[in-house]
Structure 1
Amino acid sequence: MSEQKEKEQRLYALLDELAGDSKYVDHVKREVPDTDEPMQNMMRAHLVRMGQLFAIEGHSGFSAGYAVSALEKLLRFEPLGPLTGEPDEWVELDYGGEMKAQNKRCSHVFMRADGTAYDIEARIFREPNGACFTGKGSSVDITFPYTPTREYVDVPADRD
């Protein structure tokens, strides 16, 4: 067994020991049962470990809601506060001689060579069945400070 795997196994054993009985873990296990599918069981184990760590941290009430909301944004590479547009927020990209920059704090915000910025996911199109997509018309020019938002546009069922 590799050193990395040994460390992971020790960590998982420690999580088992420290979490003890947890309503979070019990809930995860109820909602994500064991199956014959290896991928599903791997995801279940991952979610149980996340529930264990959440329980160890002692979250409940306000702190649980705050932590879940913040973590969801962070894991989606979304900012917790407004983008400033300052130079340290950008990484330069070269698309075949066309210089652009991508925001480090929010991956769907870009800056053109002329300094204007846009959000490629500001407008999300929604099919009648609930499926959502981005495409032509999703980009919206923005100004700073900017808090990323999404406008959902319902697409008619009879469109071509």
Structure 2
Amino acid sequence: MSNLVAHARRELRLVGEDRDVIDGLCRVVQAFADMGHSGASAHYAALYLDKLLRYQPLSELTDNPGEWIDRHADGTTPTPLWQSARNPEAFSTDGGKTYTLLSEQQAAGDMATTPIHHSKALPRMTEPSEESS
């Protein structure tokens, strides 16, 4: 057992975690330890894992239509609303050009004070003009 796994097992016991949970989490910690990270790479890997395990994106959301799910088209909402496929708490009313985050909404859904984020604009492919012969 690695020192990291021993540490995880001890800490989880101290907070009274269930044995099955301890065993499961220690298997994950062991897999992480088996990757052989140095101190610096372990730090970055842990940051990535934290975001990935919370369904958060690792880079900016973009206005790529493939990143946005049209919830109005699928009958989920009565008005136009898109949800990010990469960050489930991001919602847009303009197809992904701008969005708000559920975690930033103010009390009682006061949209006037909810921050609006701008998606990274992706270059658009333009159709080549047809030349007359």
Q: Equivalent residue for 2:57?
A: 79
Q: Residue type matched to 1:45 in 2?
A: D
Shift of 1:32: 1.2
Alignment correspondent of 1:27: 7
Answer 1 or 2: which has greater strand percent: 1
CA offset at residue 142 of structure 1? 1.9
Q: Percent identity between the aligned chains?
A: 30
Residue 52 in structure 1 maps to residue 6 in structure 2: no
1:70 equivalent in structure 2: 48
Q: Identify the residue that residue 92 of structure 1 maps to in structure 2.
A: 70
Q: 1:96–1:121: structure 2 CA closer, same or farther, 3 Å change rule? A: closer
CA–CA distance in structure 1, aligned partners of residues 4 and 67 of structure 2: 36
Partner of 2:84: 103
RMSD over equivalenced CA pairs, Å: 2.8
Match of 2:131 in 1: none
> How many angstroms apart in 2 are the aligned matches of 1:28 and 1:114?
43
Shift of 1:114: 6.9
Q: 1:108 to 1:97 in 2, by over 3 A?
A: same
Per the alignment, residue 115 of structure 2 pairs with: 140
CA deviations 1:65-104 (Å, max 9, x no partner) are 0110001001111111111121111111124431211011
Structure 2: which 5+ residue stretches go unaligned?
122-133
- Structure 1 pair 135–74 and aligned structure 2 pair: CA distance change class (3 A): farther
- Cα gap change, 1:115 to 1:106, in 2 (>3 Å): closer
- Give secondary structure in 2 for the equivalent of 1:82: coil
User: Which whole-Å CA distance do the structure 2 matches of 1:25 and 1:141 have between them?
Assistant: 42
Q: Which structure 1 residue ranges, 5 or more long, are not aligned?
A: 1-20, 126-133, 147-160
Secondary structure (helix, strand or coil) at the match of 1:65 reads: helix
Equivalent residue letter for 1:59: H
Matched residue, 2:102:
121
- Tell me by how many angstroms 1:33 deviates: 1.7
Mapped to 1, the partners of 2:62 and 2:26 lie a distance apart of 37
How many residues align? The count is: 116
Change (3 A) 1:53 1:135: farther
